[in-house]
Amino acid sequence: MSADLSLPQGPTRGREVVLDVRGLVKHYDDTPVLHGIDVTVGEHEVVALIGSSGSGKSTLLRCAALLEPVTDGQVLLDGQDITDPGVDADAVRSRFGVVFQAYNLFPHMTVRQNITLAPRVVHGVPADQADARAEELLARVGLLDKADAYPDRLSGGQQQRAAIARAVAVEPRVLLLDEVTSALDPELVGEVLALVRELAEGGATILMATHEMGFARRVADHVCFLDGGRLVEEGPPAQVLGEPTVARTQQFLRRVVDAGRL
């Protein structure tokens, strides 16, 4: 059976705001990391966060999913302020699918068990349904024959594809991808990016941090350049990556071109 990697969506590709980050500030002790970030992600949009290491991309993703407490500002999910102290944070987190750069598969569980855990335990999906969904997803990402293998028997690219399948299995409202290719050997990057592109084409709502500028240009609807914890420039990929107006963005992209990554 061929699995559908599309996430639940309406009949049309609207631009209703799903995730709305407003004036987000994050400090670690007395060290400021994010300085009043504003980012919106519309229904079925792919928003790419770009910038140097340490620019705040990963912290922004973690704060958006309530994996880190925010110092100030708001994060709204479908119009609800999820940073309100009265919100059930665990319930909110269950509405996100998060994939980190280091895979984070549970090493003591098989691939199948990794994928079915959250649907069964968090979302109450019957075991047989969760297992069927896992097999569909694994077939689609080319890992059905690895369903009962443990993560240490998989290559890095296979582990990351399994991690993405795990995130999709919970049918998240928003998929957060944090530099999902940075830990991969160059020859494995393409297979993971192809999977992300398929998710995007299937209507997923994605906020992703990436250092793959060519991929951002082809797939993203909107690009945000972060520098030193500040949102310096944003807009369509053709504008931000092709005709940036801010000197700092231009400088960053010149370095990217020199490194052969654009």
Per-residue pLDDT tens, the chain, 262 aa: give them.
Answer: 344 555 444 333 347 999 999 999 999 998 999 999 999 999 999 999 999 999 999 999 999 999 999 999 999 999 999 999 999 999 999 999 999 888 789 999 999 999 999 999 999 999 999 999 999 999 988 899 999 999 999 998 899 899 999 999 989 999 999 998 887 888 788 888 888 888 888 889 999 999 999 999 999 999 999 999 999 999 999 999 999 999 999 999 998 876 655 5
Determine, yes or no, domain membership for 256. yes
The answer as to whether 22 is a domain residue is yes
Q: What is the CATH number of the domain that holds 258?
A: 3.40.50.300
Same domain (yes/no): 216, 191: yes
- CA 130 to chain CA mean position, Å: 22
Q: Tokens for 235, please give them.
A: 């807009």
Are 35 and 156 contained in the same domain?
A: no
State whether 203 and 146 are in the same domain: no
In-domain check, residue 101: no
Pair 198, 84 in one domain: yes
Q: Are residues 39 and 116 in the same domain?
A: no
Kindly report the pTM of this predicted structure.
Answer: 0.89
**Same domain, residue pair 155 and 128:** yes
Domain closes at, from 144, 172, 200: 172
Per-residue pLDDT, 240 = 96
- Domain containing residue 142: 106-172
Residue where a domain stops, chosen among 172, 194, 223: 172
d(CA 190, CA 211): 13
Q: Do 51 and 77 belong together in one domain?
A: yes
168 and 44 in a common domain: no
Is residue 199 domain-resident?
A: yes
79 and 179 belong to one structural domain: yes
Same domain, 178 and 219: yes
Number of domains observed in the structure of the chain: 2
The pLDDT value given to residue 189? 85
**Helices 156-169 and 111-121, interaxial angle, to 10°?**
20
Same domain, 75 and 114: no
Tell me which of 116, 138, 172 is where a domain ends: 172
- Considering the domain architecture, whether residues 111 and 211 belong to the same structural domain is answered as no
Q: Tell me whether residue 200 is in a domain.
A: yes
